[in-house]
Amino acid sequence: MAIIRPFKALRPTIEKAQLVASVPYDVVNREEAAHFAEGNLLSYLHITRSEIDLPDVKDVYSKEVYLKAKENLNRIIKEAPLKIDDKPSFYLYRLIMDGRAQTGICATFSVDDYDNDVILKHEKTRKVKEDDRTNHIITTEAQTGIVFLTYRGVNNVNDVVDKTIAEAKPEYDFTSPDGIQHTVWIVPENYNQIIISEFVKINKLYIADGHHRAKSASRAREEKKKAHPNPTGNEDYNYFVAVIFPAEQLKILPYNRVVFDLNKLSKEDFLNAVSEKFDVKPTNDLPTGQAGKQPQTKNQFCMYLDKQWYQLKARDSVLASLSLEKSVGEKLDVSILQNFLLNPVLGIDDPRTNTRIDFIGGIRGTKELEKLVDSGKAAVAFSLYPVELDDLMNISDAGEVMPPKSTWFEPKLRDGLLTHLI
């Protein structure tokens, strides 16, 4: 069974919500974070990426950075101001992007459920990033980043969502600079028990995005327990904040790849090596409708090299070998690209640690891939067909993990609207 509970959110006034709300900490680098927060002292990026206020600090994981985050949180609480709700509530969070809406319930979820695999994962986490968010949570005593969960929707919960939208006035309703509409409601208290009771019947929830945030909440809980003996189990640090969306409402974008060199191969030798496992065709040689920069089906890839797009299709020998593979993850396009091209041809042995590869979220489009290659920063780029949500759930159910940077969910939740204090 899954435990879900309402909480007292720390949140801004209606007037200041749009100024406080910021993109998640992990979708921008230091320079981008500084740019987005420039001229806006209320931006939550001053908390989640507090190194932007310490230009002389070179180590973004230093204690000074986390203390600055705590200082900035206290400042924004006073200046925005941010207030803690009087009573625990569930909240609805709706995102609308390009006319497509998805609405989830913001609540706190049990760290025990995370630890015991009621909440399932599909990615490995990196210790350095775990350490970062764990230190951030412990120092600020706040979960400032929201985990993105999904589940197979339940009619009774969907009815609560629909009734809340029909009956309640939104607390926040604004469009962020990227064109995404963010709307938040407080769920009427009389619906709380319905939500709690329906989730008790569910034995599987899935992390869509935010593996490091969830893992760090678990690690922060352990640190808190060490510092506070004889816990009751009801402490706020036993729960982490997340928004959970029905799977049928979500859309996954591809997570594309760029590689910085051709592994000492000439262009001709590289193409010949790729051709051993893939049918390679310049896209301008393909019929109209097939000459795109993004794959149209599974087992198909698009590659940008020397100002030319190519279509790659896995050869029958590759697909035949996959038919014998029992692992769900090995059959994913990201795995096919890694195991039959990136590793054997370009020498990208471990994409988690290899510094010759980078990952580009699908929201940036193929223009970003062309830009990186044309500028000389990268030698070759690959656009992928997006992973399907059933693949994510099947991999999680099987206890497997996806290759790193396999899924890009869009639109993104904003930090700062609903913070959980621990």
49-95 pLDDT, tens per residue? 999 999 999 999 999 999 999 999 999 999 999 999 999 999 999 99
Q: Is the pLDDT of residue 28 over 60?
A: yes
Q: Could you report the per-residue pLDDT of 174-206, keeping only the tens digit for each?
A: 999 999 999 999 999 999 999 999 999 999 999
Number of residues that this document lists for the chain: 422
Q: Are 418 and 92 contacting, i.e. CB atoms less than 8 angstroms apart? A: no
Q: Could you report the per-residue pLDDT of 285-331, keeping only the tens digit for each?
A: 766 555 579 999 999 999 999 999 999 999 999 999 988 777 888 89
Mean pLDDT of 218-237: 91
Where are the CATH 3.30.1760 domain residues in the chain?
Answer: 255-385
**Cα–Cα dist 313/400, whole Å:** 25
Closest CA to 9 of 114, 107, 94: 107
Mean pLDDT of 111-122: 96
Q: Could you report the per-residue pLDDT of 236-292, keeping only the tens digit for each?
A: 999 999 999 999 999 999 999 999 999 999 999 999 999 999 999 998 876 655 557
**Cα–Cα dist 33/99, whole Å:** 27
Q: Is the pLDDT of residue 25 over 70?
A: yes
Chain CA centroid to CA 323, Å: 30
What is the model's pLDDT at position 2? 96
Mean pLDDT of 24-45: 95
Q: Cα angle vertex 316, ends 310, 318, to 5°?
A: 85
Q: Is the pLDDT of residue 138 over 90?
A: yes
Looking at every residue in the chain, the average pLDDT score rounds to 94
Mean pLDDT of 121-143: 94
Mean pLDDT of 127-156: 96
Q: Are 10 and 77 contacting, i.e. CB atoms less than 8 angstroms apart? A: yes
Which CATH entry fits the domain spanning 255-385: 3.30.200, 1.25.40, 1.10.3470, 3.30.1760? 3.30.1760
